Amino acid sequence: MTISSAPPLVCFAHRGASGHEPENTLRSFSKALALGAPWIEFDVRAVEDEAIVFHDRTLTRCAKRFGFIDRQSLAAVRSYDVGKGERIPLLSEVLALIRGKAKAQVELKGFGSASAAARVIKEALVQGWQARDFLVSAFDQIELSIFKGEHPEIPIGLLVYGYPINLDEMIRTFEPISLHLHIDAVTTQRIADARAKGLAVYVYTANETHDIETLRDMGVDGLFTNFPDRVLGLTRKDLLHTP
């Protein structure tokens, strides 16, 4: 058994507990809550200017249909079965489900996602959500800048695939608190570099226990995982053995 005195990993349930239940559904988010995930990550797209929670550009993989999701009517999108009878949720429904139980790592995907999400989050802030209950990211820097313009008080995470050559410029632009790095792009030198620039390093997506343990030992701050039980189990196991 690997024993570590490192601080506990921040655990992001990736698309909910999507290793157990259909991704990005209320069922998947409920499972993540039941497993004790402190953060839930999900993907926001805009359909008819409404913020919905869905990962792919097309319907093929999750809804077993053809077509781009943002070219459907909202009523049609809401009628599709995305696994075990689950429907594609609205952002407002997801926030209502997890409010007070987990924080929201909102990933903006696709044109219009920033404005649609910003409107829903504005209402959530009125209803008692705090800015620190959110962490917003996007691969698309235009969407991210639109969101930051609407909600400068909400923490931003820089979401990248490879390590960015212009990280300093991105930091100046977005004033992020974290760097969300693909598992293939992680090195100890990059972890140190990002940390030196004041960023927490969160890695997506680690599902295998040996990957989770290796990344933990490399010193990452947190992990996105389809199996929050595996990350949280590791952390609890470590706490048990830490003097």
Interface residues toward ligand G3P, by CB under 6 A: 14, 41, 43, 55, 107, 137, 159, 180, 204, 224
Nearest to 83 by CA among 67, 62, 106, 59: 62
Bridge partners of 53, per DSSP, are: 44
Q: Is 107 in the site for Mg ion (CB under 5 A)?
A: yes
Q: Is 23 in the site for Mg ion (CB under 5 A)?
A: no
Amino acid at 60: T
Rg of the chain over all Cα atoms, to the nearest angstrom: 18
**Smallest separation (angstroms) from Mg ion to the CB of 1:** 31
**Smallest separation (angstroms) from ligand G3P to the CB of 136:** 10
Question: Would you say 45 or 180 has its CB closer to ligand G3P?
Answer: 180
Burial class (CB in 10 A: 0-12, 13-18, 19+), 21: buried
Count of chain residues binding Mg ion (CB under 5 A): 2
Structure letter (DSSP) for residue 90: B
Question: Would you say 2 or 140 has its CB closer to ligand G3P?
Answer: 140
Which alpha helices (H) appear in 47-112, and where do they start and end? Answer: 60-63, 74-79, 91-98
| Residue among 21, 23, 43, 229 that touches Mg ion (CB under 5 A) | 43
**Among ligand G3P, Mg ion, none, partner that 45 touches (CB below 5 to 8 angstroms by kind):** none
**Among Mg ion, ligand G3P, none, partner that 180 touches (CB below 5 to 8 angstroms by kind):** ligand G3P
Q: Is 21 in the site for Mg ion (CB under 5 A)?
A: no
Question: Would you say 107 or 238 has its CB closer to Mg ion?
Answer: 107
Pairing label, strands 178-182, 157-159: parallel
Instruction: Report yes or no: 102 and 32 within 8 Å, Cβ to Cβ.
Output: yes
Residue pointed to by tokens 């706490």? 239
**Smallest separation (angstroms) from ligand G3P to the CB of 101:** 20
Question: Would you say 56 or 193 has its CB closer to Mg ion?
Answer: 56
Nearest to 107 by CA among 55, 61, 67: 55
| Residues making contact with Mg ion (CB under 5 A) | 43, 107
